[in-house]
Structures are given as structure tokens and as C-alpha cells.
Amino acid sequence: MARALIVGPRDELEHAIDALYGLKLLHIVDHREGEHGLEIGTPLREASEASEVLVKLRSIASVLQIEEPRTPPEADVSGDLREKILSLELNISEEDAAKKKIQALLADLSRRIDEMTPFAGLPLALGDYRGYETLEVLVGKTARDVEDLESGLREFEAFAAPGFLALFVPKANAQAARDYLAQHGFSPVAVPDGDGEPRALLAELTSEKDRWATRLEEIETRLDTLRERYADFLVAAKARLEVQVEKAEAPLRFAVTEHSFVVEGWVPAETFPRLRDALSAFPSVHLAELETDAHGSDPPVLLRNARLLRPFEMLVKLFSTPGYKEIDPTFIVAIGFPIFFGIMIGDAGYGAAWLGFGLFLLRKVKEPGAFRDLIIAITWGGFFALLFGLFFFGEAFGVPFHAPHAAPGETLTRAEEVTWSLILGFDIPLHATIEKLHQVPDFIVLSIAASYVHLAAAYTIGFFNEVGHSKKHAVAKAGWLLILTGIFVILMVRSSRWPGTMGYTIWNGGLGWFPRASTLIPLSSQQSLGFFPGNAIPDVAVLLAVGGIVVLLATEGGLAIMEVFGMIANMISYARLAAVGVAKAAMAFAFNVIALEVGIFPYLDTGDVVALILGAVVLVLFHLIIFLLGAVSAAIQSIRLNYVEFFIKFFKGSGTLFRPFGERAKPEV
Amino acid sequence: MVVAESQQGLVAMAAALTLAGSALATAWAEKVIGAASVGALAEKPELFGRVLPLVVIPETIVIFGLIIAFLLLGQLG
């Protein structure tokens, strides 16, 4: 970013604003009133009028419930907008007022109809319910019919309709009657005002309501017509007015003197010449590049990633915009998020389903934005889930490709024995490296390995972030990396005890080059921790960890040592990859067994087609649940690993996003 | 070290208790944080990105429980 300073005479202000707005290159730094002895500018003449019309326009748009498409429609918005919009507002505000009045009236009528309806069931006029000196009238709803009034009350006359009761009792007995009725679920109702037959009154009210409802419909039709006619115009006019207002109010962000104006802002360094060329059209406007102070200034940030990675910027920005001097971590998130998602789903069936569903959604959601970015991220996740499901976990929809190794003495039910090789009738050439339900410890070891790669990337980025800033902090990051490596190696050695396990594969495969000599820690004390000769703690790992701790002590002080435990906790935290993966696989397996045993196999033998279809529907529903639930938890946990374990190691954020003058603001997340 | 057969039930119970306890702890912690976060979000929706990690931080507790449970189950041989 280069800091640009533009100075010119006030007569050129309007032209300069137009030019800058059209260029979309300059991120304006707002001038503060009184800074350097300069005042802020005043808005251009048309500002107040344009914003007034804009307010009216927004109110019209809200009355007409016009939804704004992302791309402004083509409509003729030339000429005097003010006149058009004011006359339209007059028209619409009348209709809107009438509509609101009728709506209030209708609500009132509905309430009165509700009150009147129960009285229409009784053969009494409204006047009959009041005006007695010696009688009390109890009217109300009854939860159940009160049949044995005779047994509970003396001296009364009752009129009853289903769920409704009017009771006339002498005043002296009123309290007793009230108590008795209360016990039978009676809730009193007020008698509506007025006189006359409730039935006739009800009919009158209903017809009045119908009349007003018709009026309301008419008004709504008229508003609909207006909406159809003016929607495009209003949206386009709004866009034009917003531009006008933004331009007209721009001087508020500038510094001015009596005869000149000053604009300061940031321009991406490589586009600076373009700005210079464009402004050379105004001979009296001068552009200068200011020197920037490496520490004091805070330039905005323009994230630049390959097209493929760009959707993942959303995940980073959701946390915080990277600072100007930080490495944008998008590229690691773009790899880490879908891979973690893929490991947690780890099922060819769900992976293919999410890949397909994501691609389908992408065809539907064309507007760029956070939602589309999220879909892209999940689609990539689905792709990796498919890969992991096919080549690593060997299962689809919770059904393994091949029969798992049953524990000795275990007998499997028919549903538990189902495999894809059995269903498809040929031997699938892909074998599971980890059978999720049977090799959980292996899965956890894999997760720890993933934690090493991810956290090592975090410390490496942290190192490069700090190196230009503070050598001491950079060295500390390197120390962390040493400790991480040492602990990781020790964990792998400990888990590599038996051949065929994941730990064994990693220790003797990927880490086969690691020096294995073990002399520093006596074997006897190692053995109590589960290490044994031939598989002992390597000296180099111990030296790495201790060396890292020494580096930490020298750079960050003693308190940082406590953080080492935090780092180990972070490594274990990656076991959620295994936890979510296994939980999802176990759910799918359980649902499969239930559906197959109860809904499919019994009818497969009897040949009951209807029951079979029903069973299949249940099976599909079950899988739909896992499809959604699994993806929600996998996505959240994957984001969490990036935000908590990964970002906290190095990411400071709180940068400002580069927003050039002239770019219409897009709604962010 | 493989546990005697008569004691294996106890080991399994210990594993179950570990997971239950850590899951309860996670739930309780998330309840408190979640309620506070929703309060914060109601005032400033743009904090979502900051709040989400805070809400899911306690999830690690149950993961620890899971690991310990598996280490215990490993004792069953």
C-alpha cells in the first residue's frame, strides 16, 4: 500500500470526487476536524436534497416490500428523480395509511366476533344478561359440560351450549355458585356491550368484516400493481441516489482550506501509476506519494489469494481481518478446513452426497457473498470426505467395503455382516487403512499427527510474522516448534508399540529417518511409562523438547513454561477429529443395523414389497439425519480447530479491510 | 498391565464415569458461555467470529475424557 496525498483547488473538488469514485482505487483516510489546523469539508449542494429523496424512497420501498436484487436492474432513472419519487410517495402513503387503518379495523372486528360467537349459541338477547336487582349472572366457558348442577347448587336457572354456560342465581347464592363452578373448570367471560339478538349481531359483524376484507384486498392489489410497475425503477433509483449521496458527502472526509482541498488515502502500490495517470487530466490537482512510517501507520489490508482459495477468506474474516504486516493465513485454512471436515465425515457416501449437494446449491446460489463462500468450503469438504472415505476409511453410508476383523468369539448378526463387497457382488479393491469402529486408538494417533502438521504450520507462520517485528518473539516461536516436535515424536514412539497400528506406521514410515539412539533416560524408568527397548524415547526428541524450553525461558520467561501444557492440551484437542468421525460412523452403523434388522431383512424373506419400501424410506431418513448432523458438527469442529488451536498461536488480526472510494458496500457476514 | 478378569468391570465403569463427568463439565461450561455469548451477539452481531471459538472451547474437556476413557479401556487388554 502506498499513501497518497491529493491536493487541489476547491473549484475542482466535484470533478476530483467524480474521478476518484470512478477509479475505485483510493481507500480514503477520514480527516479529523482540526487536525493539522485543517477543517473538514462541507457536503456538496445536492447532498441534503438527495438524502431527503433517498429517505422517502426507502420508505416507499419498505411499504411496497421490494427486495433488492444484487445486480441493479436496468431502468430509466434519468431526469428529475425528486419529482417522480415525491408523487409516488404521495400516492403510496395514502394507500398505506388506508391499509393500516383497515388492518386495525379488521383486528377489532375479529376480536368482537370472537366475543360474540359463544353467545349466539344461547337463546337470549344481550339485554337479558344484565339489569337484575336480586339475580347475579355468571357467564363463561366451561372446560367440560357441568351436568350435575342440581347436586351442587340450589335455586338457579341455567342456559348451556357446548363449552359455554350462562347461570342465573340469587345474589345470596352467588359466591357458592362461583366456587362450585370454579372447581369444574369454569372461566368467566364478559358480556359484550349493547342490546339485541347475538345471532343477528354476529351476522352483522361478519358481513362487515367481509366488506372490509374485500377493501383490503383491493388496496393490496393496487399496491401489488405499483410494486410490479415501479420495483425496477425504485431499485435503480436507489442505487443512483446512494452513489450521489456518497459522492456529495465525500468532502466530509476531506480536509479543506478556504480555497483548496486535501485528500489522504491508501492505494495499492502497483496501481499508484494508474491513479497518477487519471488525475493528470486535472492540471491543477496534485498527487504526491507520502512516506509511510513502518510502525505508526496502519494501512488497510487487501487480501490477495488465488481464485481457488478466495472463498476461504470468509472464514478468516469471520474471525478477524489480518493485520497489514501479518501473513494472511487463508491458504492454510483453505487446506485445513476441508481436510479436517473430510476426516471427520470420512465416508464415501456422505462425502459424495455433500459434494453433489454443494455443487447443486452452487448452481442455485449465484450471488457472491458469505453464503456462497460457505457452500464452496463445504463442497470442498465433501470432496475430501469422499477421498478419505474411499481410500482411507473404506466405507460408505456407515457400511464398510469389507467385513471388519471381528473380535474372537464375537458372532455378528446378519445386518452387522453387510458390506459393500457383499452388496455389489464383487471385491472392492480399496481396503480400509483405519476401520473407524474397531481402530479408535489408531484414529486418535492419526489426529495427533494432524495436530503436529497444523500446529507446526502455525508456529512457522508465527515465526515469519514476528521476524521483521521482534527477533526475540520470533526465536520464541522457533522454540515452540522445537518443543512441539519433541513431544510429537515421543507420543508417536509411545503409540508405535504394536506392528500394524497407525503409530507404528508413522514412526517407522514417515518418521523412519528420525535418530533412534536412546541413552539419556535410563531404560528402567522408561519402561514404567510404557516404553521398552527397541522402542525407547529418542535422545534427539528429548533434546528438542528441552532445547525448546530453554529457548522459551530465555525469550518469553518462566511463565511461558506453563503454556507447554496448554500446547499438549491443544494437541490432544485434535482428537476431536477421531471423536466426531467415530461418533458419526457409530450412529450410521447403529441406524443401518436397526433399519436392516427391523425394516428390510424380515420382508426380504417374505417378499412384502410395501413393507420393504417403508423400510427403505426409514433407512433414507436415518441417513438424512446423519448427513445433516454430521456435517454441522464436522464444520463447527473444523472451524474451531482453525480458530482456537491454530489462529491463537500466531494470528493477531484486527486489520481494516481495503475499501476503495467508489466501491459499493457489500453486506458482510 | 492387564487387569484381572474380576476387576474388568470396574475399569469399564471408570471409563464410563470419566466420559460422563467430562461430558457434564463440557455441557455446564458451554451453557454458561453460550448464554453470555448470545447476550453479546444480541448487542453486536459482528462479534460472531470471536464468540464461536469461545463457545466451543470447553469441547476439549470431553475430548480429554474420551482419551482417558480409551486409555482405561486399553487396560482391559
Residues 6+ apart with CB under 8 A from A500: none
pLDDT grade for A665, boundaries at 50, 70 and 90: low
Domain locations along chain B: 5-74
Is B59 near chain A, with CB under 8 Å?
A: yes
Domain that holds residue A642: 310-404+412-649
Preferred mutation among B60, B62, B72 to probe A, highest tally of A CBs within 10 A: B60
Half-sphere exposure of A627 (CA within 13 A, CB side): 19
Contact A636 B56 (CB under 8 A): yes
Say if A315 falls within a structural domain: yes
- What distance in Å separates residue B65's CA from the closest CA in chain A? 11
Q: Contact, A653 vs B53, CB < 8 A?
A: no
Average pLDDT over residues A252-274: 87
Q: What local confidence, expressed as pLDDT, does residue A526 receive?
A: 83
Q: Which of B48, B64, B74 sits opposite A572 (nearest CB)?
A: B64
Is B10 near chain A, with CB under 8 Å?
A: no
CA-CA distance, A241 to A82, in Å (whole number)? 10
CA-CA distance, A548 to A564, in Å (whole number)? 10
Q: Which of B48, B50, B70 sits opposite A440 (nearest CB)?
A: B70
Q: What local confidence, expressed as pLDDT, does residue A408 receive?
A: 65
> Among A175, A202, A229, which residue terminates a domain?
A202
Contact B49 A576 (CB under 8 A): no
Q: What local confidence, expressed as pLDDT, does residue A667 receive?
A: 43
Say if A231 falls within a structural domain: no
Question: Which tens digit of pLDDT belongs to each residue from A561-585?
Answer: 888 999 999 999 999 999 999 999 9
Residues of B in contact with A441 (CB under 8 A): 70, 74
Eight-state DSSP code of residue A425: S
Is A572 near chain B, with CB under 8 Å?
A: yes
Q: What local confidence, expressed as pLDDT, does residue A669 receive?
A: 37
H-state helical runs in A266-419: 272-279, 313-319, 330-345, 348-364, 370-388
Q: What local confidence, expressed as pLDDT, does residue A329 receive?
A: 92
Is residue A420 pLDDT above 50, yes or no?
A: yes
CA-CA distance, A397 to A491, in Å (whole number)? 32
Contact A640 B53 (CB under 8 A): yes
Average pLDDT over residues B22-39: 94
Question: Which tens digit of pLDDT belongs to each residue from A153-199?
Answer: 777 888 888 888 888 888 888 888 888 888 877 888 888 887 888 88
CATH 1.20.20.10: does it fit domain B5-74?
yes
Average pLDDT over residues A394-398: 91
Q: What local confidence, expressed as pLDDT, does residue A552 receive?
A: 92
Top mean-pLDDT range of A43-52, A241-250, A417-426, A619-628: A619-628
pLDDT grade for A107, boundaries at 50, 70 and 90: very high
Q: Contact, A63 vs A92, CB < 8 A?
A: yes
Q: How many residues does chain B have?
A: 77
CA-CA distance, A430 to A629, in Å (whole number)? 27
Q: Contact, A27 vs A660, CB < 8 A?
A: yes
Is B47 near chain A, with CB under 8 Å?
A: no
Contact B57 A644 (CB under 8 A): yes
A207-225 in b/e form (b: 16+ CB < 10 A) is eebeebeebbeebeeebee
Question: Which residue in the block uniquely carries the three cell numbers 387503518?
Answer: A101
Quote ipTM for the complex.
Answer: 0.81
Average pLDDT over residues A461-471: 89
Question: Which residue in the block uniquely carries the three cell numbers 452452487?
Answer: A362
Is residue A20 pLDDT above 90, yes or no?
A: no
Contact B63 A643 (CB under 8 A): no
Say if A661 falls within a structural domain: no
Half-sphere exposure of A135 (CA within 13 A, CB side): 16
Q: What local confidence, expressed as pLDDT, does residue A407 receive?
A: 62
CATH number of residue A186's parent domain:
3.30.70
Same domain, A400 and A542: yes
pLDDT grade for A347, boundaries at 50, 70 and 90: very high
Same domain, A351 and A495: yes
CA-CA distance, A249 to A243, in Å (whole number)? 10
Q: Which of B52, B60, B70 sits opposite A444 (nearest CB)?
A: B70
> Among A135, A170, A202, which residue terminates a domain?
A202
Indicate if the alpha-carbon torsion angle B59, B62, B68, B71 is positive or negative: negative
Top mean-pLDDT range of A390-404, A442-456, A600-614: A442-456
Tell me whether residue A152 is exposed, middle or buried, using C-beta atoms within 10 angstroms of its C-beta: 0 to 12, 13 to 18, 19 or more: middle
Q: Which of B52, B62, B66 sits opposite A639 (nearest CB)?
A: B52
Q: Which three cell numbers stand for residue A416?
A: 452387522
What single string gives the DSSP state of each residue in A346-380?
A: --HHHHHHHHHHHHHHHHH--S-SHHHHHHHHHHH
Is residue A668 pLDDT above 50, yes or no?
A: no
- What distance in Å separates residue B60's CA from the closest CA in chain A? 5
Is A379 near chain B, with CB under 8 Å?
A: no
- What distance in Å separates residue A501's CA from the closest CA in chain B? 14
Preferred mutation among B19, B63, B71 to probe A, highest tally of A CBs within 10 A: B63
Average pLDDT over residues A424-449: 89
Q: Which amino acid is at A284?
A: S
Residues of B in contact with A575 (CB under 8 A): 63, 66-67
Q: Which three cell numbers stand for residue A448?
A: 495427533
Residues of A in contact with B60 (CB under 8 A): 569, 572-573, 576
Same domain, A180 and A318: no
The residues that bridge with A289 in the sheet, in sequence order, are A4
Residues 6+ apart with CB under 8 A from A78: none
Residues 6+ apart with CB under 8 A from A133: none
Is residue A104 pLDDT above 80, yes or no?
A: yes
Q: How many domains is chain A built from? A: 2
Say if A450 falls within a structural domain: yes
Q: Which of A579, A668, A669 sits opposite B66 (nearest CB)?
A: A579
Tell me whether residue A72 is exposed, middle or buried, using C-beta atoms within 10 angstroms of its C-beta: 0 to 12, 13 to 18, 19 or more: middle
Same domain, A473 and A607: yes
> Among A202, A219, A235, which residue terminates a domain?
A202
Same domain, A609 and A472: yes
SS3 B43: helix
Contact B67 A575 (CB under 8 A): yes
Average pLDDT over residues A132-144: 83
Contact B74 A441 (CB under 8 A): yes
